[in-house]
Structure 1
Amino acid sequence: MRWLQGGPFLELSFIFNEPTKIEKVITNLNNTNIKIEVHNSPEYIQQFYEGYLFDENDPQSVMIHRVEINLTVKTTRQRRALLFVEKISSGLLSFSMCFFGSEYNAPEWNQTGIRDDELDEFIRLLISLYKELKFSVGGLAFEEDMKGLFDVNEAWPNEKYNFANLNFKDNLHKFRLF
């Protein structure tokens, strides 16, 4: 069984300027007022730095740096989450913490839903993460992460993913920003 399945997903995401060490971010997750457990080994997380070729048959292909980390987040109710860490350009890292976002529980997948009255918990989590991590921009949305704010029609990594290409005006309606 996959760690997180079904949908929709509530995505709590934020972007850092590089150089940011994933291990430091993960360590600082534990300094928030919400308990977050990481279920992957440090060796697994190191795979991010090694990366992999976008096209393994083309040694000149772009290198992808991405890792998917299993988390347990203990808000009022315990939840599974996935933390996607992606290098979207030479200067930016994207972190997206995804939660099962249906209003209904899915016991067959061991997933806890999110009731309307629980959304404030995720806003408080985002604020707590900001206070601890000092990321550049962060937000909360259903089925959207912070990469959706960029006016870029390119696959990442791409140098067009830079703060000059953030488009709040046309995309802000999708997010609760912090």
Structure 2
Amino acid sequence: MNWLQGGPFLELSFIINEPTKIERVISKLKNLDVKIEVHNPPEYLQQYYEGYPYDEDDPHSVMIHQITLNITVHTTRLRRALLFVEKISSKLLSFSICFYGDAFDAPEWNQLGVRDDELDEFISLLISLYMELDFSVGGLAIEEDIKGLFDVSEGWPNEKYHLANLNFKDSLQNFLAIIINRSLKDNFPDEHFILKDNSYLLYRTELR
């Protein structure tokens, strides 16, 4: 059985500046109030650094660096999830934690849904991850990750995936919550965001 299957998926994602060792990010997950277990052995991460060519028949093909990890997240109810790590440009890494996101449980797949009264747990987890990792921007959405905020049509990796190309105006409604590092405050319209703890900007939509 697949570690995570079905759908839709609730995606908690964030962008971190390169250079960053993904082992460092994963090790910091242990510092959260919510326990996160990674089930892949450390040597498995080497596949990320080795990468693979987008086109195996092209010696000049761009290299793809990405990896998928099986994790368990100890929210109030224990959940299986997948952690996707992708290098989207020379300066940016994308991390996305995907949960089974239907409102109802799927016992046939041994997967828990996300009830309305549980969504706040995931927003709190997003905030906790920000406080530990100090990432640039992060979000929570159904079937959408933070890469959807980029006003870029090209696939990644691509140097157009730059923080200056984030587009909140057209994509904000797709997210349940978004966090922006305060250092980026002057770069983006903030009428929908609230400054929290003099540290980060938080946007929250009406929960379903």
User: What is the TM-score of this pair, normalised by structure 1?
Assistant: 0.98
Alignment match, 1:166? 166
Distance in 2 of aligned mates of 1:63 and 1:137: 25
Query: Are positions 1:83 and 2:71 aligned together?
Result: no
Distance in 1 of aligned mates of 2:171 and 2:178: 11
Q: Which stretches in structure 2 are left out of the alignment for 5+ residues?
A: 180-208
For residues 34-93 of structure 1, the C-alpha deviation after alignment (integer angstroms, 9 at most, x for no partner) is: 010000011111211110011112121110000001000010000000000000000000
For residues 104-133 of structure 1, the C-alpha deviation after alignment (integer angstroms, 9 at most, x for no partner) is: 111111111110000000001001100101
Distance in 2 of aligned mates of 1:108 and 1:46: 33
| Count of matched residue positions in the alignment of Structure 1 and Structure 2 | 178
SS of the equivalent of 2:173 reads helix
Distance in 2 of aligned mates of 1:52 and 1:80: 27
Percent same amino acid among aligned pairs?
74
Q: Report the residue type matching 1:78 in the other structure.
A: L
Residue 151 of structure 1 deviates from its aligned partner by 0.5
Query: Are positions 1:19 and 2:11 aligned together?
Result: no
Kindly name which structure, 1 or 2, has the bigger radius of gyration based on alpha carbons.
2
Residue 28 of structure 1 deviates from its aligned partner by 0.4
Relative contact order, CA 8 A, sep 6+: which one is greater? 1
Alignment match, 2:178? 177
Residue 30 of structure 1 deviates from its aligned partner by 0.8
Point out 4+ residue stretches in structure 1 off by more than 3 angstroms. none
Aligned-pair RMSD on alpha carbons?
0.6
Q: Report the residue type matching 1:132 in the other structure.
A: E
